[in-house]
Amino acid sequence: MTTTQRLLLVEDEPTLCELLSASLRLAGFQVTSAETGAQALSAVSEQRPDLIVLDVMLPDINGFEVARLLRERHPGPGGEHPPILFLTARDAAEDRISGLRAGGDDYVTKPFNLEELILRIQAVLRRTSGRQPDRRLLVDDLALDADSHQVTRGGHAVQLSPTEFSLLRVLMENAGQVLSRHQLLDRVWHYDFDGDDSIVASYISYLRRKIDTDRPKLIHTVRGTGYVLRKPSP
């Protein structure tokens, strides 16, 4: 079974964005778009696309900066950000091209041929598919499927909001490891260190109500430190 691959297209020129979205959909991809670097960053964490087509010249932060921030937020292993294919201007200097080679998986120079873009996207996806983090997580009887966005506890479906889902995913990816509020704030909400971390406690309590009622507790508070999700002791 092949699943439809999801692309995030980041392009601030509306006409080009529409044209590209339509062409990529015709080529069989599921496409969402963003117009700014900031929108791109939140779209990556909300949608976990399989690949990002990232224009370098954006109105707020440029594409290279977006790539740098993604690397910082998803240092891996297992937490790698999606592969990036940059869209660059024809006059990009040689050194910028080598710079983006370091930060991206490929690049296409504008103006480009649509067919070429699609071939490049397919090639990057083939090359990088082996390094995708595990998209099905299981801790005790709690299962999370990142592709279908389904969560079950003891075989029963649990309905989560997108933020609850992201929070649970981070906790499950790091099962057994204590995560501080700041780490969670950074990985789930992408706030800087000085953000208000009381939101983390609120969401932890929403999650507990949905997954930890009537079942052995999986989410534990480590006083003064943070939270950990782990199997109940036998």
In the complex, the residues that contact Ca ion under the rule CB under 5 A are 12, 55, 57
Strand partners, 142: 139, 153
Least distance CB 109 / Ca ion (angstroms):
13
C-beta of 87 vs 170, nearer to Ca ion: 87
C-beta of 54 vs 188, nearer to Ca ion: 54
- In the bound state, the residue with its beta carbon closest to Ca ion is 57
Say if CB 81 and CB 40 are below 8 A apart: no
What residues contact 204, with CB distance under 8 A and at least 6 apart? 167, 219, 221, 227
Q: Which residue's entry shows tokens 């439809």?
A: 4
C-beta of 99 vs 195, nearer to Ca ion: 99
Least distance CB 95 / Ca ion (angstroms):
20
Say if CB 87 and CB 110 are below 8 A apart: yes
C-beta of 12 vs 80, nearer to Ca ion: 12
Taking the CA of residue 203 as centre, how many other CA atoms within 13 Å lie in the half-sphere pointing to its CB?
24
User: Is the bond into 111 cis (omega within 30 degrees of 0)?
Assistant: yes
Least distance CB 88 / Ca ion (angstroms):
10
Least distance CB 183 / Ca ion (angstroms):
33
